Amino acid sequence: MLEKSKNNPLIQKIEALEKQLQERQRTEEVLHEYHKRYERLVNTIPCALYDYVRWPDSRSRFIYISPQCKKIFELEAETIMDNAYLLWNMVVPEDLERLKQKDQAANQAREMFQSEVRIITKSGRKKWIQLTSMPSSETFDSQDIWSGVILDVTHKKEAEEERDRLLSELQRALAEVKILKGIIPICSYCKKVRDDEGFWNQVEAY
């Protein structure tokens, strides 16, 4: 029977091992909670998070992209990581060259990259996406890893386009009113228009 003494080396070793085991269990519990929180975030927030690498010869690769990418691109994360060019090919030709130039310039300067481009998904849906990324302190195959976020900004861009359309129509209408004021007698007080017979009528009736 082992001597039950704190001075017994074997007892001390067993107690030390038990303490290490308890600490390891607590660490695993904390890591498990962090993992659950991470999974909840990447599967809930309305955007796609990604790690991206671009080589000097223009090759590129997503070494990570969160599952939310499917809602934006209609592609699974694994498919995008296997072939990044599937996303490049979705970009409409009018925006593709601008995107490539911004991507190259940001990589050369190691400054924040941001761009808004139009894409057409495999189902034929037209969308606006916003890409934003920054170089991290880590590398992959000797190249900087760019960590970023992709947002579907279709609703915002459509609202902006509708606003611009209405503003253009308003400006055109105002220009027409100014022209009409120069050739049609309008009362500055009641805003009625005088017809050829000398009677004053409401603008709508005229």
| pLDDT tens digit sequence for 120-131 | 999 999 999 999
Residue corresponding to tokens 């809602």? 71
Model pTM score: 0.66
pLDDT at 42 over 90: no
Stretch 107-116: mean pLDDT, rounded? 92
Name every residue whose Cβ is closer than 8 Å to that of residue 143 and which is 6 or more positions away in sequence: 53, 54, 55
Query: How much is the pLDDT for 154?
Result: 94
Stretch 80-102: mean pLDDT, rounded? 93
- Provide the pLDDT confidence category of residue 34 given band limits of 50, 70 and 90: low
Q: For the chain, what is the mean pLDDT?
A: 84
Query: How much is the pLDDT for 181?
Result: 62
